[in-house]
Structure 1
């Protein structure tokens, strides 16, 4: 028979063990939609996703233990349905103007800005004025993207009929079309072009990059009404990543600007 003091000691140890594991058990899972959107999310045919979104999710999970952020595969066209049907709790690197106006959500300003720019093949007589008028030019676009020059209409038929556009799911393919004279202009994000030129230094002199910007991407996180994390709570986590330098470390190499977040 064990003594009363030994029994009490065992009960205390058991209670401490329970308290020790409670934080990990209490972590609420937050499902983040991961659509192929280079360089934010790169979804290879096999293997794990790479890009800025996986880096951000890892940093969020390392910052705290209240929430466990996990990536859920989706696609650019399918992400709206996945959000509405509750398959994902959050869409990151979004903008409410990109087809979200009729879908209930909470908007969180991420304080990040990228830009969409025009790229053409460099030729002796070709100057910046080449980008001023898109009429009559063959465009290479990323399928599903919302472009300002097209009034954010992402319908493939509309873009093909009105802007002589070829749509693909690869910025690399679009830039190759320009280099091989199969398209006159490709539109790519500044962040992607920065990464592309690091990987393809030899073609840098063959490309003419526009000073004209189609649009500035001001990034937001969109939270479902049923998401386990609130807008203010997620804003606080993002501020924590700013304070510890992780936001700058993740985004600065891709020329994505950290800008002040307006106080609510």
Structure 2
């Protein structure tokens, strides 16, 4: 039997149902560029949700409902074009020194520090002084990375003309070259080396790690001027993850330091 009261109740419940899902459907999509940079991002083009960026995105999405963060695969050389053309809104784990000088952006200090270290094969006669001079060494480097010892110039022709280099797209391969005597020194991030030794415990005694640091990675998130999120809003979210302990939980196991973020 038709009942106006029952019909009105149903309509009210339907309306409440629509309202209950409105906040999530209204969330603005923010695309974070994911370039292969282990352990931060690992082969994003394969669709694998591995690496620290994937964990950070989960934490950001759990923290709030105004924005929906997703990772969009890019590459080390392609990320500049993707950023300028609006394919990605945020370039993350970056530094303005790494080729971003002429690209408009807002830099957000993430308060994260890693370091690039030199690694060679452990030999009886080899000491820390081995890392003092790079000119006479065979270097295994990651193609596209900006190294301090080379004045942050990642151009392959420049590197080849000034150093004896082999360029690859794999830190694992570079360390294997060192272990097999095909390269004298590889440069890797401290975070990657920590993860590599955990995965390959048997190689630790065969590696000599430099006390010399090539550069300290002080990480920034670079926000595109037309991005749906502002640098200020993104910075507040990162602070929220510091406050609830998620930043420490994600990055401390990889020996990535949380440092103070300058206010203002």
Shorter-chain TM-score bucket reads over 0.9
> Secondary structure of the residue that 2:82 maps to in structure 1?
helix
After TM superposition, give the deviation of residue 17 of structure 1 in Å: 1.8
The aligned counterpart of 1:227 is: 227
For the 8 Å contact 2:45–2:73, the answer to whether it is kept is no
After TM superposition, give the deviation of residue 15 of structure 1 in Å: 2.7
Note the residue ranges of structure 2 that are not aligned, 5 or more in a row. none
The aligned counterpart of 2:207 is: 207
> Secondary structure of the residue that 1:183 maps to in structure 2?
coil
Q: Distance in 2 between matches of 1:8 and 1:33?
A: 48
TM-score, with normalisation over the residues of structure 2?
0.96
Q: Distance in 2 between matches of 1:13 and 1:170?
A: 55
For the 8 Å contact 1:43–1:49, the answer to whether it is kept is no
Matched residue count: 264
1:46-195 mapped onto 2 (5 Å cutoff): 46-195=46-195
The aligned counterpart of 1:197 is: 197
1:30-45 mapped onto 2 (5 Å cutoff): 30-43=30-43
For the 8 Å contact 2:34–2:44, the answer to whether it is kept is no
> Secondary structure of the residue that 2:37 maps to in structure 1?
coil
Q: Distance in 2 between matches of 1:185 and 1:242?
A: 36
> Secondary structure of the residue that 2:71 maps to in structure 1?
strand
Q: Distance in 2 between matches of 1:232 and 1:30?
A: 14
Aligned in 2, Cα 1:8/1:67: closer, same or farther, shift over 3 Å? same
> Secondary structure of the residue that 2:18 maps to in structure 1?
helix
Aligned in 2, Cα 1:247/1:53: closer, same or farther, shift over 3 Å? same
For the 8 Å contact 2:115–2:213, the answer to whether it is kept is yes
Note the residue ranges of structure 1 that are not aligned, 5 or more in a row. none
Aligned in 2, Cα 1:75/1:45: closer, same or farther, shift over 3 Å? closer
After TM superposition, give the deviation of residue 233 of structure 1 in Å: 0.7
> Secondary structure of the residue that 1:159 maps to in structure 2?
helix
After TM superposition, give the deviation of residue 48 of structure 1 in Å: 1.4
For the 8 Å contact 2:113–2:218, the answer to whether it is kept is yes
